[in-house]
Chains A and B, each alone.
Chain A
């Protein structure tokens, strides 16, 4: 579906007001990866890492400086309009709907822009109306919609023409927990049941955790991880945390095979690797415990570890 080889993009940035020194910035450097049809892929990276630049090159908005890109068999920068029929895009922070018009009008206009046959449009729309519960606000002007409603509208808009590939940029940003779940469920459905390939750019690790089979991590324009999430956890997630609540506050425990990361009153956090049973026994032997729990590293922690220790 997507084939990227040694993709690079550099920009000329001019610093200073009068002197205008030219300064070349490598937004994306030597990126290579493949995405197969039907995958639900997460794309992660700190701000300024090159995520949007990559997406822009994949959708045909930006022309690469060097390297090869093929999306759905087409070169995006050369065959933009042809590709546009087969992909959908939704940018969470930008509005693609007509601001003053009722939601349904935006859908109708997009139907004509994409030339969707009337019966297929009706069927698609009916489906979205049901799954995303659009009826309560279908005739409300977009400017009066809440964020959650607008996002649902935007998602519908990006899928009305039944694209094979969907690019999502921060689709759950600013949504409350319930709305986020709804969007996530929707994305799973379109991916698993309709076979739409999804490339999800996000900062929300909950999205990643719950949706993605595979993760691409980019930093400073370079790919620093490309693989499945379980592999990621195994490689970077080996360390776990044993959180113990002692009877009373005590100085940091000295236990073989563990390091105390943090102390807060009677609670201590111990970092360890490997099986927990033996360690727990040792801790129980050296102090009076009230309670304990084991924490797996969350994605956030893992990602932080990748940034400081790239795999590629």
Chain B
């Protein structure tokens, strides 16, 4: 286990070194992705230009939610964004090579790339978070601080699980890759708004089936001391780490099953 982390760190180190080599181009890329990710936040600002509250949420509260989901998503994108190219990898036959190596295939796929420039979006999220925390009056206690610290890794694990499950589709269909965009990018889009504004069935979907509601919404309710206006039980506010672990487990299982299918149905 430790070894896998060490190996991943080596890969990340190697990629960072190689990407920093073209310093000018890298800085431009980073600045570009930083600026561009503000566009999403601009949308939030435009909304609040027109109304004082979105549902039960004020602009600072939505900014808070937005920032946290943005940071979680950015970190996920940083680590496994290359999964978008996975359908092509399968089509080219480059997945088979991984099966000839003495390591798990999912681990190798994740460790095959790392794009430092995606940090730009995380930086933008941090800035918005700074603004939100300054503007909000949160009654900080150890519990709330702990929640804030935990929710980002939990969010990363949740987003990653959805992304990995999406990538598994490529083992069954050659063109299925695009379906997962609905969940990965759609997921990011969903998570940045309070889910209480979505209709009932969509909220249930986001809580129980594709649990992206847990990325930020529930932890945010706890930190901001709000109640879910449609009355979902309070214990959900603490459940995000557990949901994250469960999601990771499900993702791993589905991956293993998908690879098994791939290995018997034909590479």
Contact = CB atoms under 8 A, between A and B. Distances in A.
B263 A61 contact: yes
A255 B256 CA distance: 69
Contact of A62 (B97, B113, B267): B267
A143 B129 CA distance: 39
A100 B15 contact: yes
B262 to A, nearest CB: 9
Interface residues of B, number: 28
Contact of B102 (A12, A77, A85, A108): A85
Given A62-B267, A77-B263, A109-B11, A141 B99 contact: no
B264 to A, nearest CB: 4
A63 B264 contact: yes
B99 A61 contact: yes
B6 interface: yes
Contacts of A114: 101-102
A102 interface: yes
Nearest to B115: A100
B263 A91 contact: no
State the majority secondary structure of interface residues on B. helix
Pick the most buried of A85, A102, A113: most chain B CB atoms within 10 A of its CB: A113
A184 interface: no
Contacts, number: 81
Contact of B263 (A11, A27, A62, A95): A62
A108 B92 contact: no
B265 A11 contact: yes
A94 interface: yes
Interface in B85-102: 92-94, 96-97, 99-102
Contacts of B17: 105
Given A59-B99, A89-B97, A94-B93, A105 B7 contact: no
B94 A95 contact: yes
Contact of A105 (B18, B265, B266): B18
B227 interface: no
B99 A80 contact: yes
A94 B94 contact: yes
A239 B10 CA distance: 60
A210 interface: no
B112 A98 contact: yes
B100 A60 contact: yes
A101 B112 CA distance: 11
Contacts of B94: 94-96
A113 B18 contact: no
A173 B18 CA distance: 29
B103 interface: yes
B266 A81 contact: no
A112 B10 contact: yes
B14 interface: yes
Contacts of A84: 99-102
A105 B13 CA distance: 10
B99 A60 contact: yes
Contacts of A102: 18
Contact of A94 (B6, B11, B92, B102): B92
Interface in B1-36: 3, 6-7, 10-11, 14-15, 17-19
Interface in A47-63: 52, 56, 59-63
A81 B103 contact: yes
B18 A141 contact: yes
A57 to B, nearest CB: 10
A204 interface: no
B14 A62 contact: no
A61 B18 contact: no
Contacts of A100: 15, 18-19, 113
Interface in B230-254: none
Contacts of A98: 11, 14, 112
Interface string B98-129: 01111100001000110000000000000000
6 contacts: A59-B100, A101-B15, A105-B14, A105-B17, A108-B14, A113-B102
Given A27-B266, A101-B14, 5 more contacts: A11-B266, A60-B99, A60-B100, A94-B96, A96-B97
Which 7 residue pairs of A and B lie closest in terms of their CB atoms, listed nearest first? A84-B102, A105-B14, A89-B100, A96-B97, A63-B264, A61-B99, A11-B266
Interface of A: 11-12, 27, 52, 56, 59-63, 77, 80-82, 84-85, 87, 89, 91, 93-96, 98, 100-102, 105, 108-109, 112-115, 141, 167
